[in-house]
Structure 1
Amino acid sequence: MTAVVQEVVGRILPDVPREEIAGARHLKDLGADSVDRVEIILGILERLGLDESMSSFSELPDVDALVDFLVSAGER
């Protein structure tokens, strides 16, 4: 799942090295503005074929939390 997040974030933020898209890094810390973050979330949902509300992602503090959420959403 981390690879999917890295792929989509890398497409939206091409100047960010993939190894930095992990762990406790928040998307804002990687340089993503609010529009970038929406594009990232929509891209991930589309890539994974998930149907989740955008509001589900508003409280996720970092890349690890995003990955954990996506794993649990995929298991439903």
Structure 2
Amino acid sequence: MQAPLSRIANKFGRNVMSNFVRNHSHGGVPGENLPFDIHNRYKLTLLFTVFIGTGLGAPFLITRHQLLKKGGQLF
């Protein structure tokens, strides 16, 4: 009972994935699969800087917030 059901599910999964790839891929266009636009160099640089800056700056901002929350003066 398990084997026929398994074969049907496997075939269905392969069909779904091959249709997805066939319908959503344009074939070798650089940057097509990225969630942001890479054609405007200045916008890409700004967004990259903001993205990296928030990740690197977050621990310092959290620490500053915690120190100020305790009621003491930071400087």
TM-score (normalizing by structure 1): 0.26
Bigger RCO of structures 1 and 2 (CA < 8 A, at least 6 apart): 1
TM-score (normalizing by structure 2): 0.27
Give the structure with the higher percent helix. 2
Higher gyration radius (CA) = 2
